[in-house]
Amino acid sequence: MQNLNHPTYVLGIDTSCDETSAAVLKNGQEILSNIISSQGPLHEPHGGIVPEIASRSHIEKLPAVIDQALKDAAISCKDLTGIAVTTSPGLIGCLLVGLSYAKAMAYQLRIPLAAVNHLKGHLFSPLLEHATTYPFLGLVISGGHTALYHVKSFDSIACLGQTVDDAVGEAYDKVAKLLELGYPGGPLIDRLSGQGNEKAYAFTPARVKKGPLYFSFSGLKTAVKNLVQQTSLAEKNAENFKANVAAAFQKTAIDSLMISAQAALSQYPVRAFAVSGGVAANSRLREQAGQLCHKNNIPLAIPKISLCTDNGAMIAYVGARQLENNQTAPLNCQARPTTPVSAPL
Complex with Zn ion: residue 142 or 252, whichever CB lies closer: 142
Are 207 and 259 in contact, with CB atoms under 8 Å apart? no
From the CB of 298, what's the least distance to ligand KG4, in Å? 23
The b/e string for 122-160 (b: 16+ C-beta within 10 A; e otherwise) is: bbbbbbbeeebeebbbbbbbbbbbbbbbbbeebeebebb
How far apart, in Å, are the Cα atoms of 303 and each of 86, 160, 245?
Answer: 19, 22, 28
199 Cβ contact partners less than 8 Å away, ≥ 6 residues apart: 248
Query: How many positions of this chain bind ligand KG4 (CB under 6 A)?
Result: 19
Query: How many positions of this chain bind Zn ion (CB under 5 A)?
Result: 2
Question: Which of the listed partners (ligand KG4, Zn ion, none) does 169 bind, with a CB threshold of 5 to 8 Å by partner kind?
Answer: ligand KG4
- SS3 for 255? helix
From the CB of 278, what's the least distance to ligand KG4, in Å? 2
Question: Which of the listed partners (ligand KG4, Zn ion, none) does 198 bind, with a CB threshold of 5 to 8 Å by partner kind?
Answer: none
- Which of these ranges, 52-60, 169-177, 195-203, 331-339, lies near ligand KG4 under the rule CB under 6 A? 169-177
**Residues in region 9-68 near ligand KG4 by CB under 6 A:** 17
18 makes contact with Zn ion (CB under 5 A): no
**Residues in region 90-149 near Zn ion by CB under 5 A:** 142
From the CB of 143, what's the least distance to ligand KG4, in Å? 3
Complex with Zn ion: residue 144 or 196, whichever CB lies closer: 144
How, if at all, do strands 300-301 and 146-153 pair?
A: unpaired
- Which of these ranges, 58-66, 230-238, 309-317, 329-337, lies near Zn ion under the rule CB under 5 A? 309-317
Beta sheet of 273-276, edge-to-edge order: 156-162, 146-153, 136-141, 273-276, 300-301
Are 276 and 302 in contact, with CB atoms under 8 Å apart? yes
**Which residue among 310, 320, 322, 335 contacts Zn ion (CB under 5 A)?**
310
Helix/strand/coil percentages in the chain, nearest 5: 45, 20, 35
Interface with ligand KG4 (CB under 6 A) = 17, 142-144, 169, 172-173, 184-187, 190, 277-279, 281-282, 309-310
